[in-house]
Structure 1
């Protein structure tokens, strides 16, 4: 499934389901197939996303896990795309929508 975020202030933003779900959960929205972030809710959503990005970056400095697990089995590679990169287009959409007092729907 894809999430297609729309606003009259910006072009559409399409995200894969896991990434869109993560961002919606961060801002306190249920990742249903359809939803809305009203213009009044946008400042709180931006603040929540920025706090999550800051927390993610603080955790990025933690020591990396061993390449092999305790049982000697190879572990899957860590995600090299950080939350900051995934959230940046959505945060931009929210900022532009707030500036023009438009809602964001999906």
Structure 2
């Protein structure tokens, strides 16, 4: 059974994610994913920037793959897009930053 992480902040609604997505996001943020932790308000601006940059790179990579597929006569594949899956967490971080609140999590 895969672990579920619950991310919360006084600034916005809770975000619940499976371990695979949580790990993928924390890899982008260059942070270890512990069973519990906190992202301080001071850390959020740089972490938001890292995640937004990774989402844009993922979109560009996917667009290139779709273009190559179309040129080869293939239909673009339905893929796991980081932006779609990470959006609720990104929004929680932005809300927390705006209200100068931390983001905390646990399993």
For residues 73-106 of structure 1, what are the alpha-carbon distances to aligned partners after superposition, in whole Å with 9 as ceiling and x for unaligned?
xxxxx66231110111111101110111100011
Number of equivalent positions: 93
Secondary structure in structure 1 of the residue aligned to 2:15: strand
Give ranges in structure 2 of 5+ residues lacking alignment.
Answer: 70-76
Give ranges in structure 1 of 5+ residues lacking alignment.
Answer: 65-77
What do you get for the CA RMSD once the two structures are aligned?
1.4
TM superposition shift of 1:12: 1.0
For residues 7-58 of structure 1, what are the alpha-carbon distances to aligned partners after superposition, in whole Å with 9 as ceiling and x for unaligned?
0111111001100111111112211111111000101011000110111111
CA distance in 1, matches of 2:12, 2:31: 20
Q: Do the aligned partners of residues 25 and 79 (structure 1) sit closer, same or farther apart at CA in structure 2, a change above 3 Å counting? A: farther
Q: Does 2:88 correspond to 1:89?
A: yes
- Counterpart for residue 73 of structure 1: none
Secondary structure in structure 2 of the residue aligned to 1:96: helix
TM norm structure 1: 0.81
CA distance in 1, matches of 2:53, 2:90: 12
TM norm structure 2: 0.80
CA distance in 1, matches of 2:27, 2:46: 13
CA distance in 1, matches of 2:36, 2:15: 14
| Larger helix proportion of the pair | 2
